[in-house]
Structure 1
Amino acid sequence: MEIPGLGTITLDDLTGFTGQTLYNMASFPDAAQQIQEVYDLVFGDPAALRTAGVRLPSAPPARGWLTDDAYSYTGNDAGFAVNCADAPLPRNPALYPGFAVAFEKAHPTFGRAEAFSEVGCATWPKITEAYDGPWNRRTAATILVVNPTYDPATRLDFAVRMTRQLGDARLLTLDGFGHTSNYSACVTSWYTRYLIDGDLPPKGTRCAQDRVPFPAV
């Protein structure tokens, strides 16, 4: 979409921006404002909005905002290393557009982007030593599984299913938003107790987040 005087926003820009925003609840308020500004530009009065200094969204580097340390961000390589070994993704790049159509039908808005995010596996070094089960063996210690109720990448029902499939696991549910378990002293406390003392939350334990998605101004 070409916006006079402001530049071009593509569907990829908007989808990528929104998808990355959903990973981190702290970014929700600013992202909502930016998306509203884009909406107003499309359906409102662009001339008036131009004078108001509208900021156009652009997709941040894939998940790179999660870390900022001396070793830089290597999560993209790590992601391919895991995904390309765990899933039977094809070595032919020409097959991925067909996957994108199927993904988008099953998961509108983000399905296409998710399918193409795995196309790197077509040329990734072939891995043959991946572990593919069995998963139900008893472990020396019970495995702690943690998942939010509204995670954009790992749905809660997936965590419930995994907990059942593992030989000995306990699910701790975070009632909240974003990817993994941010902004919850309750979850952090259970992490500490589990790793140091081997303590487990009682079955059915749910933790809350210590902030809300849209704080009152």
Structure 2
Amino acid sequence: MTADDIRNVAAVLLYAKQSWGVLAAALADAASGDGSTIRELVDQAIYPRDDDGPYDPFADRFFAISASEQHWPTDVGAYLERGARGLGRLPHFWGTYAYAEIPFALWPAHDKDTYGGPFTVPTSSPTPLVAVTTYDPVTPYPGALRLVQELGNARLLTMDGDGHTAYGGNSP
């Protein structure tokens, strides 16, 4: 069990409030010296294996597509600066928004025609609704506020709650 294992398991299990008890128990076990529950959760939720034994390639595919089709800075220093700034803005998961993204800077292939913005909505278009939960650990509320401002012609629906999104029973 590594610190990355703990961080990854926490990030995944915080998506759904129903998983918080499992996470709390796993962290308590780890704090008392037993990392087997964290290891089991990593094997189930982070790097699952197919029924016949090999690892499911989902995470690799997700990374390769994200790294090549999004506009990531190629300067590692930009991620270090972003991590330092993120600590103040996102005190619980600032590391997942900067330091964990450093591999994207090093990815060698990039899609040349990926649309990178601006992401605005003309006033003649239907108004998009941005739904957000106030204490979502993965997509923090301040990001939704910035998105609505960037889109221009958008409305914000705020749910006072936790878990990742307001759907699927993740919040009360």
| TM > 0.5 fold call | yes
Distance change (3 Å), C-alpha of 1:73 and 1:123: closer
User: Helix, strand or coil: the match of 2:31?
Assistant: helix
Amino acid in the other structure paired with 2:171: Q
The residue that corresponds to 2:166 in the other structure is 181
The residue that corresponds to 1:157 in the other structure is 142
Distance change (3 Å), C-alpha of 1:30 and 1:104: farther
- Stretches of 4+ moved more than 3 A in 1? 72-88, 98-102, 108-114
Deviation at 1:55, TM superposition (A): 4.4
Would you say the 8 A contact 1:101–1:112 is kept in 2? no
> How many pairs were matched up?
156
CA RMSD of aligned residues (A): 3.4
* Partner residue of 2:37 out of 49, 53, 56: 56
Consecutive unaligned residues of structure 1, counting only runs of 5 or more, are: 1-8, 42-49, 65-71, 185-207, 211-217
Whose radius of gyration is greater, 1 or 2?
A: 1
Consecutive unaligned residues of structure 2, counting only runs of 5 or more, are: 49-55
Would you say the 8 A contact 1:154–1:179 is kept in 2? yes
* Partner residue of 1:123 out of 93, 96, 107: 107
User: Helix, strand or coil: the match of 1:154?
Assistant: coil
How do residues 91-130 of structure 1 correspond to structure 2 at under 5 angstroms? 95=76, 99-100=79-80, 103=83, 106-107=86-87, 110-114=93-97, 115-129=99-113, 130=115
Would you say the 8 A contact 1:21–1:28 is kept in 2? yes
Q: Aligned partners of 2:100, 2:82: CA distance in 1, in Å? A: 12
Q: Aligned partners of 2:128, 2:85: CA distance in 1, in Å? A: 35
Deviation at 1:180, TM superposition (A): 2.5
Moved more, 126-135 or 142-151: 126-135
| Bigger helix share | 2
The residue that corresponds to 1:40 in the other structure is 32
Higher relative contact order (CA 8 A, sep 6+): 2
Amino acid in the other structure paired with 1:99: Y
Deviation at 1:25, TM superposition (A): 1.4
Deviation at 1:88, TM superposition (A): 3.6
TM-score under structure 1 length normalisation: 0.56
User: Helix, strand or coil: the match of 1:89?
Assistant: coil
The C-alpha deviation readout for 1:24-63, integer Å capped at 9, x for no partner, is 211101111121122233xxxxxxxx8xxx843133317x
TM-score under structure 2 length normalisation: 0.68
The residue that corresponds to 2:71 in the other structure is 87
